[in-house]
């Protein structure tokens, strides 16, 4: 049986917001979509089958972390990342560029060799070139592959951002050449250029000349304000290809998602719902709840009365407050699952409102509430 080709189609539009469908040989992905982060071949504290039951249709994993631990050879030995982590969903893998910048020790960038860095785990030296990043992602058997890019720390130095953007464009071309042609998988380019509109536009133009299956916006959510981030998307939304998915990397604050969808973004990922779940912060339709707060000690109401999935509303704030304050593992499990479920409920509501032509009303009601 032949594998299904990677495709994307916009189904509904409401001004710039749009709802569509990505089809892969592993399954369909309704957009706008949120991808829970399974950095090290697991979404922390949640079984993969429960993640699927939340309505999640794609997850993200990471090249940098997996090449360090457990090592690509072990994943190849298991038959690829999907079999290794018992995941039937499509998987998008980040190239590792951001983690090289943010986590590794004594990293050095060489235009030809790539990123030369020491592991944040044991100090062992690695070299990650665009070709090596693509090779690893292919060996992981990723469904959506990201090009290798450089992610500079936030700076107002335009010359530095320009130099970094030029390097990312050079590496994008090398990534595309290394990826070759595979209609059953997708390769996304990454638009860089900091907060400078002319550099962002140049980056997008050069990526479109190379031609990718989707286009991501990188280098945001690294210290910039929401206003600055929305300004970057506003500047690009008229020129991004309408027939390709648009992915805002590393952005997962609910209000950021709602505002970015209004500007035409299709895909999101972030550790926020899972990391928050492990530290006692719950996302609900009425706003955020810090369940460790003593005011919940005698509150026997559920976190979110609207939540019907997993019988999660059977767990009271009183009980969850107790679990967190006694460091019980179940606390992280329940709240992480609750948050992922909330995020997928949010994405479903966004898609329904786009379909019904009521997204602006939804946006205005929730943009400052969640």
pLDDT in tens, 219-232: 998 888 999 999 99
End-to-end CA distance of the chain: 45
Residue 264 predicted with pLDDT over 60 = yes
Mean pLDDT of 140-148: 97
Output the domain CATH number for residue 69: 3.20.20.105
Within a domain: 233: yes
pLDDT in tens, 59-100: 999 998 999 999 999 999 999 999 999 999 999 999 877 777
CA-CA distances (angstroms) from residue 23 to 26, 255, 288? 8, 27, 33
Within a domain: 169: yes
**24-28, 122-126, 292-296, 335-339: which has the minimum mean pLDDT?**
122-126
Question: Which token pair is 101?
Answer: 């910048």
Alpha-carbon torsion (194, 197, 201, 204), positive or negative: positive
Within a domain: 264: yes
Mean pLDDT of 205-223: 95
Within a domain: 135: yes
Q: What is the pLDDT of residue 69?
A: 95
pLDDT band at 104 (very low <50, low <70, confident <90, very high): low
For 328, other C-beta atoms within 10 Å of its C-beta total 13
pLDDT band at 307 (very low <50, low <70, confident <90, very high): confident
Within a domain: 99: yes
Query: Which of 328, 325, 300 has the alpha carbon at shortest distance from 314?
Result: 300
Query: Which of 290, 287, 309 has the alpha carbon at shortest distance from 299?
Result: 290
Within a domain: 231: yes
Domains in the chain: how many in total?
A: 1
Q: What is the pLDDT of residue 106?
A: 63
Mean pLDDT of 306-324: 92
CB proximity list for 90: less than 8 A, separation 6 or greater: 24, 26, 27, 29, 57, 58, 143, 144
Mean pLDDT of 117-141: 91
Residue 18 predicted with pLDDT over 60 = yes
Residue 254 predicted with pLDDT over 90 = yes
Tell me the residue range of the domain where 178 lies: 7-271
Residue 1 predicted with pLDDT over 60 = no
In whole numbers, what is the pLDDT of the chain averaged over residues?
95
CA-CA distances (angstroms) from residue 123 to 40, 118, 119, 127? 18, 5, 5, 13
Alpha-carbon torsion (150, 151, 157, 158), positive or negative: positive
**16-25, 219-228, 270-279: which has the minimum mean pLDDT?**
219-228
Within a domain: 320: no
* Report field, pTM of the whole predicted structure over 0.95: yes
Residue 268 predicted with pLDDT over 90 = yes
Strands 186-191 and 91-94: unpaired
Q: What is the pLDDT of residue 97?
A: 76
Within a domain: 348: no
Mean pLDDT of 322-334: 97
Mean pLDDT of 160-164: 95
Residues classed as catalytic: 94, 269
Mean pLDDT of 196-219: 98
């Amino acid at each position: 049986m032949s594998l299904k080709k990677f495709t994307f189609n916009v189904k509904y539009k409401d001004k710039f917001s749009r709802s569509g469908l990505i089809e892969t040989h592993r399954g369909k992905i309704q957009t706008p979509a949120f991808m829970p982060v399974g950095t090290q071949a697991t979404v922390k504290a949640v079984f993969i089958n429960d993640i699927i039951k939340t309505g999640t249709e794609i997850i993200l994993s990471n090249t940098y972390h997996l090449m360090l631990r457990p090592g690509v050879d072990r994943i190849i030995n298991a038959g690829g990342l999907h079999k290794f982590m018992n995941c039937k969903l499509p998987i998008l893998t980040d190239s590792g560029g951001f983690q090289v910048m943010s986590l590794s020790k004594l990293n050095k960038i060489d235009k030809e060799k790539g990123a030369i860095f020491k592991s944040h785990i044991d100090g062992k030296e690695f070299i990650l070139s665009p070709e090596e990043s693509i090779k690893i992602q292919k060996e992981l058997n990723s469904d959506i592959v990201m090009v290798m890019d450089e992610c500079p720390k936030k700076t107002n130095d335009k010359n530095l951002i320009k130099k970094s953007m030029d390097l990312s464009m050079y590496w994008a071309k090398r990534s595309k050449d290394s990826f070759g042609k595979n209609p059953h998988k997708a390769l996304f380019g990454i638009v860089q250029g900091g907060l400078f509109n002319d550099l962002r536009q140049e980056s997008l133009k050069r990526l479109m000349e190379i031609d990718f299956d989707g286009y991501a916006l990188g280098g945001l959510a690294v210290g910039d304000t929401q206003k600055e981030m929305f300004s970057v998307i506003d500047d690009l939304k008229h020129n991004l290809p309408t027939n390709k998915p648009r992915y805002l990397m590393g952005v997962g604050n609910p209000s950021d998602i709602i505002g970015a969808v209004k500007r035409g973004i299709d895909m999101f990922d972030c550790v926020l719902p899972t990391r928050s779940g492990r530290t006692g912060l719950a996302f609900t339709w009425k706003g955020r709840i810090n369940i460790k707060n003593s005011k919940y000690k005698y509150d026997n109401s559920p976190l979110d009365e609207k939540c019907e999935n997993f019988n999660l509303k059977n767990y009271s704030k009183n009980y969850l407050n107790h679990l967190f304050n006694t460091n019980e593992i179940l606390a992280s499990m329940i709240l992480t699952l609750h948050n992922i479920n909330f995020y997928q409920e949010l994405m479903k509501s966004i898609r329904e409102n786009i379909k019904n032509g009521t997204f602006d009303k939804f946006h205005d009601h929730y943009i400052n509430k969640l």
